[in-house]
Amino acid sequence: MLTIDYANCLSTRVGSHGIDPARVDGSSEEAKGLAAITRSLKETRGTGWERWFGLWNEPMRSEHVGAIKPLVKSLHGKFENMVVLGIGGSALGNIAIQSALNPATYNLLSSKERGGPRMFVVDNVDPVNLAGVLAQCEPKKTLFNVISKSGETAETAAQFMLVRRMLEDALGKKWASHVVAITDPEKGTMRTICDEHGITTLPVPEGVGGRFSSLSPVGLFSSAMCGIDIDALLDGAKAMDERCRSEDLTKNPAAMLAHLLVDLGNRKGKHSHVMMPYCNALYLMADWYRQLWAESLGKRRDKDGAEVFTGFTPIKALGATDQHSQVQLYREGPNDKVFILCEVEKFDEDLTIPTGMGVEALSYLEGKSMQTLLNAEKRATEYALLESGRPNMTIRFPKVDAHHIGEFIALWQIATAYAGRLLNIDAYDQPAVETGKKATFGLMGRAGYEDWLAKVDSALAATDYVV
Amino acid sequence: MLTIDYANCLSTRVGSHGIDPARVDGSSEEAKGLAAITRSLKETRGTGWERWFGLWNEPMRSEHVGAIKPLVKSLHGKFENMVVLGIGGSALGNIAIQSALNPATYNLLSSKERGGPRMFVVDNVDPVNLAGVLAQCEPKKTLFNVISKSGETAETAAQFMLVRRMLEDALGKKWASHVVAITDPEKGTMRTICDEHGITTLPVPEGVGGRFSSLSPVGLFSSAMCGIDIDALLDGAKAMDERCRSEDLTKNPAAMLAHLLVDLGNRKGKHSHVMMPYCNALYLMADWYRQLWAESLGKRRDKDGAEVFTGFTPIKALGATDQHSQVQLYREGPNDKVFILCEVEKFDEDLTIPTGMGVEALSYLEGKSMQTLLNAEKRATEYALLESGRPNMTIRFPKVDAHHIGEFIALWQIATAYAGRLLNIDAYDQPAVETGKKATFGLMGRAGYEDWLAKVDSALAATDYVV
């Protein structure tokens, strides 16, 4: 199972930049506070915006898996490509799970090697990028998986409008059979479109926000299409969730994770969190984490209305690669970060560095495995960070498989619930994204938003401050 | 030409979080200080660790281009794949230029569509990742471009040892003809290996550090192999360099960029720099920038030996995508960032959102172009950041082509030279990476590093702080 080694967050290891070990003791006041949160979560889990706790439990689990599996089976072998149209929480989980559990070269493999379709996730409206993907995807051989709860997210709507026309031009009335939509089961613009055209749908479950939806059909459908074991994902999440019901802080990974990170922020000024997996497959999991952590905890006001401008800045890095890019800063720049290293104990495949090179300076590498080298680099960085008084922890994966990825996802979602309570903020809203949406409507000429156009043009009037 | 619009960094736009416009006036004390740096750079450019200024000027330029072009011509059509083996400055420029100037789907195109070989950059020792790439690359059809000044960088050496054996097994004595090395022209382990086996080489020029080398053969060879116009890259860099010789602050983009970012750091506590291009092709340029900015400026001591722990944390983000992930935090979290937005005025290809969707809520999108939508999103975000008092600037690309990418690279390299002087630190060393290298040697059993193994094992002894 996934473990967190947090010895290097403590003052015994990093001096004044670390937490007093008394504060992580199971009998401390802090532990009692966290136990109270654990108890309160038992009340709220599965209700309101914490309905995501139900994703790996009955009845939601069987409803979702029971809908996804027959659909995937019915589509099997019919499409050479699948293109996910979505943005934010409707894309990041899909990308993260796919890149963690399928090879980086997945789209270059033969159809037989892959088993599933090639997979593209288009999560932007960059025309060059979108045109490039569409040029790869002959309509007859392509399934489009559009993901939008409302159907009104501008980026996804624009993509969908384009794709729909492309499909209709190529396939006529059969166009709708090349779309699977994941959307609100009851209402909204996308729902209306799907009902009108008979588009197959899967639900975005009620009360599950975008950034908490990767283990709902939002992330599970594309995963299952690409051969990923979605039962194992959910089993892993469930196993982690069970560990996180413990009122003993020292046995509850999510409570401890949230406690460490909030405490290092509040008491030691570490407001940036660097997620640095020593494993390429886990690198894009950091993008999923970035949204969850930033959007949930970055809040101007606390629950009492006080202005707090709280939150942590998530940063992604890759070991060993970023040792040659970021570690100089991480050791000698401002001491304002916590490093969340991820380590893999056993890679699915290993490579042995050959003997017989005949170069003295490189002989120490001969006969060693690449995994040994990579994990030695990780341990060396851990040591170097320690020597500079930089708090860090290690999330250890026995291996990278669907079960452990499920654990990882649940760990962070549950830690977010704890952190929101520790910071006394609402982890489930995102009030600050509204302004940009309305300003975009204004700039795009949507009726009713004329005043926004005027406000933007006035605030951003051209000046001579250009070089 | 590339421009920087910095109105939104000023107090007139973002209140107390911005810079007083008097400080960017061409006649200010600050401008005089920057003019003094401009004059001093005229003395040091092309000497010591600032020999990178010579990359786009004679005689270096012709030496490099004159060696690269005939080599690329002689290799044309002979290889289906090219794999770059390198890490840090020996990989980031290659990845950035390739992803900026060739399609994201480049490796999926047919050989005819591409013109050059498929390109892979392996900048880690993750065994699963490396095995996946090598499985795609039949030795007979593959050229390996190993980049290492010394040949002793552990990651690159390990990759090279593996690849050499793979090639030798497949090709016998001809293996060396499938390697182009970019290394020290005079000395070192890789030089010795190349001389012994007759491997074709290009130089890592003397006095050009890794993070300043992307416009040397390090970045130019792989670019030219993939059809990128390296003359235009160098022309762009030269054009930017010429603008940056102006002693008038208001006409010197690099001086202004460094001044704004250092001033916002020193006086307004903005120590994180978010690079957020509204263009997928520019996203990985941010990784190149991350190394340049972090490793050059993240320093514990200034030139007088005082402990300063200075530097800025570079963060990459992608517009519009990260509006749905990071902008909540960017607007409502700690006000400790400067946002460097990048905008493209004209994309190489555009797409029009079709009319006739028949959905009222989406009618405002009909007939608009994707580029219009993307740039409206950018402007809306600029407005939203402004409304929250968050300083930001826009680097504007007339289009994304080799000339403007060359400008962008030179802009940041020269800005780094200014910033180093403004911070009174050595921008060209990286003392903090040595510890990790030595600890790795110790852990890997290299003779002479036994004491490092003992130190690491003692410092990182297992504890019960695991959950």
CATH of the domain at B324: 3.40.50.10490
A118-123: average pLDDT = 98
In this structure, are B245 and B219 located in the same domain?
A: no
Residues B52, B58, B62: CA angle, nearest 5 degrees: 100
B-chain residues near A167 (CB < 8 A): none
SS3 of residue B147 by DSSP = strand
What's residue B75's pLDDT?
98
Domain end position, chosen among A201, A228, A255: A228
In this structure, are A10 and A149 located in the same domain?
A: no
Q: What is the DSSP string of B308-327?
A: EEE--EEEE--TTGGGGTTH
Q: Is B403 part of any domain?
A: yes
In this structure, are B284 and B212 located in the same domain?
A: no
A435 with B295: Cβ contact below 8 A: no
B365 with A328: Cβ contact below 8 A: no
Q: Is B432 part of any domain?
A: no
pLDDT band at A210 (very low <50, low <70, confident <90, very high): very high
In angstroms, what separates the C-alpha of A67 from chain B's closest C-alpha? Answer: 28
DSSP annotation of B430 reads -
Q: Is B188 part of any domain?
A: yes
A-chain residues near B357 (CB < 8 A): 161, 164
Domain count, chain B: 2
A-chain residues near B266 (CB < 8 A): none
In this structure, are A253 and A128 located in the same domain?
A: no
In angstroms, what separates the C-alpha of A257 from chain B's closest C-alpha? Answer: 9
Catalytic residue among B30, B50, B155, B295: B295
Residue A13 domain boundaries: 3-44+234-422
- Percent pLDDT > 90 in chain A is 99
What pLDDT digit, counting tens, does each position of B230-256 carry? Answer: 999 999 999 999 999 999 999 999 999
B-chain residues near A161 (CB < 8 A): 353-354, 357, 362, 365-366
In this structure, are A381 and A244 located in the same domain?
A: yes
Q: What whole-number distance in Å separates Cα of residue A142 and Cα of residue B173?
A: 46
In this structure, are A108 and A63 located in the same domain?
A: yes
What's residue B263's pLDDT?
98
In this structure, are B219 and B261 located in the same domain?
A: no
SS3 of residue B360 by DSSP = helix
Domain end position, chosen among A422, A441, A460: A422
A193 with B359: Cβ contact below 8 A: yes
What's residue B456's pLDDT?
98
What's residue B404's pLDDT?
98
Nearest chain B residue to A106 by CA: give it.
Answer: B132
What pLDDT digit, counting tens, does each position of B344-366 carry? Answer: 999 999 999 999 989 999 999 99
Q: Is B449 part of any domain?
A: no
In this structure, are A15 and A112 located in the same domain?
A: no
Assess whether B437 carries a catalytic annotation: yes
pTM of the model: 0.98
Of B371, B436, B467, the CB nearest to A323: B436
pLDDT band at B31 (very low <50, low <70, confident <90, very high): very high
Catalytic residue among A43, A173, A307, A324: A324
What's residue A268's pLDDT?
98
What pLDDT digit, counting tens, does each position of B302-316 carry? Answer: 999 999 999 999 999
Of A154, A387, A436, the CB nearest to B373: A154
Q: Is A81 part of any domain?
A: yes
B-chain residues near A325 (CB < 8 A): 88, 92, 287, 290-291, 294-295
What pLDDT digit, counting tens, does each position of B396-445 carry? Answer: 999 999 999 999 999 999 999 999 999 999 999 999 999 999 999 999 99
pLDDT band at B196 (very low <50, low <70, confident <90, very high): very high
What's residue B350's pLDDT?
97
In this structure, are A416 and A311 located in the same domain?
A: yes
Domain end position, chosen among A177, A210, A228: A228
Q: What are phi and psi of B394, to 5 degrees?
A: -125, 125
CB B311 within 8 A of CB B299: yes
Q: Is A94 part of any domain?
A: yes
Q: HEC states along chain A?
A: CCEEECHHHEHHHHHHHCECHHHHCCCCHHHHHHHHHHHHHHHHCCCHHHHHHHHHCCCHHHHHHHHHHHHHHHHCCCCCEEEEECCHHHCHHHHHHHHHHCCCCHHHCCHHHHCCCEEEEECCCCHHHHHHHHHHCCHHHEEEEEECCCCCCHHHHHHHHHHHHHHHHHHHHHHHHHEEEEECCCCCHHHHHHHHHCCEEEECCCCCCHHHCCCCHHHHHHHHHCCCCHHHHHHHHHHHHHHCCCCCHHHCHHHHHHHHHHHHHHHHCCCEEEEEECCHHHCCHHHHHHHHHHHHHCEEECCCCCEEEECCEEEECCCCHHHHCCHHHHHHCCCCEEEEEEEECCCCCCCECCCCCCCHHHHHHCCCEHHHHHHHHHHHHHHHHHHCCCCEEEEEECCCCHHHHHHHHHHHHHHHHHHHHHCCCCCCCCHHHHHHHHHHHHHCCCCCCHHHHHHHHHHCCCCCCEC
Assess whether A295 carries a catalytic annotation: yes
Catalytic residue among B173, B186, B307, B324: B324
Q: What does pLDDT average to over chain A?
A: 98
What's residue A419's pLDDT?
98
Catalytic residue among A30, A155, A295, A343: A295
What's residue A155's pLDDT?
97
Q: Give the pair of three-digit tokens for residue B40.
A: 């001093």
Higher pLDDT, B34 or A358: B34
Assess whether A29 carries a catalytic annotation: no
B333 with A299: Cβ contact below 8 A: yes
In angstroms, what separates the C-alpha of B264 from chain A's closest C-alpha? Answer: 15
In this structure, are B13 and B126 located in the same domain?
A: no
A401-415: average pLDDT = 98
In this structure, are B245 and B303 located in the same domain?
A: yes
In angstroms, what separates the C-alpha of A70 from chain B's closest C-alpha? Answer: 31
Q: What does pLDDT average to over chain B?
A: 98
Q: Is A368 part of any domain?
A: yes
In angstroms, what separates the C-alpha of A29 from chain B's closest C-alpha? Answer: 18
In this structure, are B66 and B167 located in the same domain?
A: yes
What's residue A301's pLDDT?
98
A333 with B309: Cβ contact below 8 A: yes
Q: Is B10 part of any domain?
A: yes
- Percent pLDDT > 70 in chain A is 100
B-chain residues near A433 (CB < 8 A): 323-324, 327-328
In angstroms, how far apart are the furthest CA atoms of chain A? 74
Of B162, B329, B447, the CB nearest to A313: B329
